[in-house]
Chains A and B, each alone.
Chain A
Amino acid sequence: MDLREFLKKASLAHGVSGFEFMDIASLAKDAMEGLVDEIHVDVLGNVIGVKHGQGPQPRPKIMLAGHMDEIGLIVTKIEEGGFLRFAPVGGVDQRVLPAHEVIVYGKRPLTAVIGVKPPHLTSPEEAKNAHKMKDLFIDTGLPEEEVRNLVRVGDVVTFKRQVSELMGDRLSGKALDDRAGVAVILACLDELRKYKVDADVYAVATSQEEVSLGGAVVSAYGIQPDIGIAIDVCHGETPGVPEWRTSSVGKGPALAQGANIHPKVFAALEKAAKETGVNVQKEIAPAATGTDAWAMQVTRAGVATGLVSIPLRYMHTSVETLSMSDIEGAGRLLARFIASCDAGFVKELKTWI
């Protein structure tokens, strides 16, 4: 499995929250083929691959959740001249929008730009402030009539951004939050071939994480797992951000600790990291992690959750930057963790400490 190639393709794929079916879902599904025994897609568009274990029934059920949706924009109005007004889907930073190239998914994909007033025509007072989303617009270059023909209110928009292969093993691009998590799941499934595994593994490329955690809410209900591990991204070190709020890109995945994480799952993940020689960092999450783990934990009568994070810089911009080695490491430690899960461990998880 060429993870790097997968991630480069996945980064370019279109999959704004709720619209994963337009591109990224089929890419995730194709990538899972051969690694799992069966695949289905549920009502909210979650792609669920099942790899059966060899343990005695009832086998432990482990759900892996990496969300495949990305933040993006949605058309709210078509204005005179064919300019498009828009709103965010998920946490879009309005300050980084001006001068972006975008793709408007109308009747056919349209390349467009987010235009702004030139500095020559901007007063010194105006120039002091960042552009607000409500003042920005998308220009497709097409005449109004044609725009009205091709685009309707509610069509979604993604950033148009090639993946940059930076020095070393670093990739930079859009939507690596959380296509990186999907890549980790694939790496883990691939690695699992080396192990004898008791548990049934449910590999889920979840939908709608960026807007509601909705994909994880319903898929976890349907699967009813004993253990749920979310794989998402955390903040990589960044100038101007205190060290304690970040993890280091390239120094291994981060294991989260806090109310959202079952202490025994955390301990078992840490142990698996040690056994596989994967360096890990700690991510402290006092309350909500803002990830699929938050939704999985309170599904039905409760699920023992863990969270493995890939350090990533410039989150929610189109130049999210990460290291491939962190993804590979996360895949290896997760496979080891899964192989260690037997009926006895699941029984232990039925209490918090």
Chain B
Amino acid sequence: MKDLIKRLTEAFGPSGSEGPVREVIRKEVEPYVDEIRVDAMGNLICLKKGSGGGKKVILDAHMDEIGVIVTHIDDNGFLRFANIGGVSPMVALGQRVYFENGTFGVIGCEKLDDIKDLRLEKLYMDIGATSREEASKKVKVGDMAAFFQPAIDMGNRIVAKAMDDRIGCVVVIEALKRIKQSEHDIYAVFATQEEVGLRGARVAAYGINPDVGIAFDVTGTGDTPKAHTMEVSLGKGAAIKVKDSSLICHPGLRDYLVKLAEEKGIPYQMEVLQRGGTDSGAIQLTRAGVPAGVISIPSRYIHSPCEMVDLGDVEACVNLCVAACESPLDF
């Protein structure tokens, strides 16, 4: 699993440019599913057919990551950019970024009299070019770049960029590999454009018209020095979401997941996330409504290139996902 986490987090995939991630996942899941298709929004939808009589279940994880998009190239070959998703200027400053064609850049900042004036508009990208002409040979306005950071194996914890939400993808992939018997038609949706408004999942869910939707995404923790108040801690198990800014989870499904975790002895914690949304927010409001929930992977330093997860938590999420798929889901 560590190898898969490394390959997936290091793949390139800002929102709208998820192609490379999609190819890694497609190869990985092909032997374990019955049908694979890609829809108009680029969602990778994989169907693992059930034994019959069950429900249509979406397991969703988003492929896209935050990044930047080039808006202007100046005479001296410096690039200006805008954010794709929630990019903090504090986090972006001093980072290395890379484009899909392999071009690297570094993020510099105009002279500031006060660090409080730090804004994304004050930042620029330097790809080592000396003129607009030279820069334009490698990068065009509208090209996207992702943050560059190789994954680091810390033993039971792993740090990487794009752990949000490749670790969710890993959980769903692992579950597809481990599910032994399910009556349900499982639609694994590897969704696009979550970071810019839950947009891939919205259309995927409309197309599939499911009976149940469960998203797998990262959630914050309250266990770091002077963190904001939150009960979730790294290493204490799968987080079963009650609420975030995008949805209030279906109470029946939520309690069903809690009961499953208790029966199977899977470590879990209850989660209320004050800021941030997940694909389930879109899935829930599909057509005439879908019971939707979220199993979250606790993560520190979300939306930085150093997102940290605990392998014990990842394992708990996989186990809970498998248990849910192998259960009747009759909440």
Contact = CB atoms under 8 A, between A and B. Distances in A.
Interface in B49-105: none
B284 A77 contact: no
Nearest to B211: A43
B289 A76 contact: no
A81 interface: no
Q: Counting chain A CB atoms within 10 Å of each CB, which of B222, B243, B289 scores highest?
A: B289
B229 interface: yes
B280 to A, nearest CB: 12
A246 to B, nearest CB: 29
Interface in A38-95: 42-44, 74-78, 85, 87, 89
Interface in A151-197: 152-154
B331 to A, nearest CB: 12
Contacts of B138: none
B229 A78 contact: no
Interface string B273-308: 010000001001111111100000000000000000
Interface in B240-290: 242-243, 246-251, 254, 269-272, 274, 281, 284-290
B288 A154 contact: no
Q: Counting chain B CB atoms within 10 Å of each CB, which of A75, A77, A153, A214 scores highest?
A: A153
A17 interface: yes
B248 A18 contact: yes
Contacts of B250: 43
Interface in B187-228: 222, 228
Interface residues of B, number: 28
Interface residues of A, number: 28
A112 interface: no
B55 to A, nearest CB: 13
Interface stretch (A218-226, A247-255, A313-321): A218-226
B230 interface: yes
A153 B284 contact: no
A294 B290 CA distance: 21
B121 interface: no
Interface in A209-265: 211-212, 214, 217-219, 221-222
Nearest to A300: B287
Dominant SS at the B interface? loop
Nearest to B222: A77
Contact of A87 (B272, B286, B288, B289): B272
A78 B231 CA distance: 8
Given A76-B272, A154-B243, A154-B272, A218 B287 contact: yes
Interface string A129-149: 000001000000000000000
B230 A214 contact: no
B244 to A, nearest CB: 10
B52 to A, nearest CB: 23
Contacts of B243: 18, 74, 89, 154
Contacts of B285: 212, 214, 217-218
A202 interface: no
A305 interface: no
Contacts of B272: 74-76, 87, 153-154
Contact of A154 (B229, B271, B287, B291): B271
Contact of B270 (A43, A87, A153): A153
A19 interface: yes
A266 interface: no
Contacts of A87: 272, 274
Contacts of B288: 42-43, 218-219, 221-222
A17 B287 contact: no
Contact of B248 (A43, A134, A208): A208
Contacts of B289: 42-44, 214, 218-219, 221-222
11 contacts: A44-B289, A75-B272, A76-B231, A76-B272, A89-B248, A152-B270, A153-B270, A154-B271, A214-B284, A214-B289, A221-B289
Given A19-B248, A44-B284, A77-B230, 17 more contacts: A17-B248, A18-B243, A21-B251, A43-B290, A74-B242, A77-B229, A87-B274, A134-B228, A153-B231, A154-B242, A208-B248, A214-B284, A217-B285, A218-B288, A219-B289, A221-B289, A222-B289
Interface of A: 17-19, 21, 42-44, 74-78, 85, 87, 89, 134, 152-154, 208, 211-212, 214, 217-219, 221-222
